[in-house]
Amino acid sequence: MTSHTSATHRRFRRLGAATIVVLLGAPMAAAATTRWVNDNAATYVPPGTSCSTAGYATIQAAVNAAAAGDQIRVCPGKYVETVAIGKSNLTVLSTAGAAATMVKAPSSAFVFVITATGVTVRGLTIISAGTADADIGVNVAI
């Protein structure tokens, strides 16, 4: 090998090592987390793994802990709270459907206040304060 070829080879080897370090140091996209909400669990260990081992007592607590892309699974129950969602690409859904999972406004406030894009809320009965009637037009602000 000539000295020119040997020097070029050493430079490429150094460049290859630097490239690998840069690629390995690049941040990876975090996997979405499923967060479990149950207003009637004995204990809570976030993010939870099921309705019997939930991570949060309120939907809002799960939203506060969530990152974009997470899924919040709401177990059967009646949740009296206003839920403010300001994080994009969250999914809030009932594990047992609207007949078994209700969210009621604590006062004349909205039940859900959504200020982010890509938010899905599905399978919940939304109830205005002071009534048993579901009225989504009055209780959701987007």
> What's the one-letter identity of residue 76?
P
Distance CA 119, CA 101 (A): 18
Q: Model confidence over 50-79: pLDDT tens digits? A: 999 999 999 999 999 999 999 999 999 999
Distance CA 42, CA 127 (A): 26
Chain-centre distance for alpha carbon 1 = 59
Could you report the average pLDDT of every consecutive run of 10 residues in the chain (142 residues)? 54 41 48 96 96 97 97 97 96 97 87 94 88 53 52
